[in-house]
Amino acid sequence: MTTQPISETAEPNLDQAAIADYFASEQFKRSCSTRLSEDEKAFRDEVRYDQRRGRLLRAWTLELEREDGLSMGIAFYGLGSCWLAIAIFVPHGVWMLGGFTNQVFGFWITLVQFTFAPMLMCLAMISVTSSMWYVSLAKRFATAIAILTPATLMLIFGLVQMSWIEWSDVWPRVPFLVISFCVASTAVTLPLQMWGGWSLSQAREMPRELPRLSTYQFLELTAIASVIFAVGVFVRDRSIWYEGLACTLISLLCTLAVTAMIVTRLNKLRRYRFIGFVIASVFGFTAMLIVSLFGFSRFEETMFWNNQAEQTFAILIASTIGAAIFVGTMQLATWWLHLCGWQCVKLNKVEGAAPSD
């Protein structure tokens, strides 16, 4: 009895044939061309871990084709909406501050904090987010203008509706103070980005290296500074310049507070988060104390005065309340950026990154 070779007697394996057909098909070739590399898979796993508090939005945006655009748009839309809501609220607070005489000083100075603490935080958050963004300076400047302009016009419109406020009292005062605040904020964040290496990035599909500041961007900075200087030349009133200096000092303190919160909250430096919170609280309290003192000097004729010791105590208590409002709203804004997938990263420490375009 002779035995025939197995290759001639065994039946063909249908499963193996189907697998071979799949590997030879166009469907497999398309999946290979769009399949993530191992570095990209690790990056996405890392993003899901880092952004677990924002898992609802992140789980949604991770499956979209243009994740980076959605992350950027939702973040700035949220900050702009916050600034618009505050611009509507501030005239009502100013009306309560100046529309009544013989108010108790403690209540009045606390109302100053409730009116201006959220406004200063929102301005600082918009300035820091747009100026620390990794894109070109021209895009940052255009983004900040687009976010700030509508609400600033709304703020001017709301203030001029009051009977004791003239048009000359708000124009060009309000736009000049907003510009002074943002310019001072940029003076803090740009050096931090250039020499500290920290930048903000929205959620991106691929972990590419962030572009560094180049000579071209310094030319953009020069052009932007020239435009701002040209706007400032038209302001002739010395009192507005004095207010601008006070606004600049407050802006520096608010920016340092917001930057400390962002740098320690939107990255992996978890052990430094408490330190960042303490630094933000100290700078926030100092800024609100200056706001109280500035309000104390500007609106003294409308107050029913207590003795000096009670006034000092009331200013300290009101500044503490203002700092709590400032830090609380700042944490909400930081949480919003975190929810939208934003990260604060080092330019030279992007793990698994491909070269920038």
319 is a domain residue: yes
354 is a domain residue: no
Full DSSP string of 119-176? HHHHHHHHHHHHHSBSS-HHHHHHHHHHHHHHHHHHHHHHHTTSTT--HHHHTTHHHH
33 is a domain residue: no
199 is a domain residue: yes
Rounded-to-integer distance, Cα 353 and Cα 347, Å: 11
48 is a domain residue: no
Choose among 319, 327, 235, 220: nearest CA to 281: 327
pLDDT in tens, 82-132: 999 999 999 988 888 776 656 677 888 889 899 999 999 999 999 999 988
Give the pair of three-digit tokens for residue 92. Answer: 């009502």
Which residue has better confidence, 244 or 22? 244
22 is a domain residue: no
269: pLDDT strictly greater than 50: yes
The total of structural domains in the chain comes to 1
Containing structural domain, residue 136: 58-346
Mean pLDDT calculated for residue range 62-66: 39
354: pLDDT strictly greater than 90: no
294 is a domain residue: yes
| pLDDT confidence of residue 73 | 82
Single pTM value for the model: 0.75
For the chain, the farthest-separated pair of C-alpha atoms sits apart, in whole angstroms, at: 122
Which residue has better confidence, 345 or 317? 317
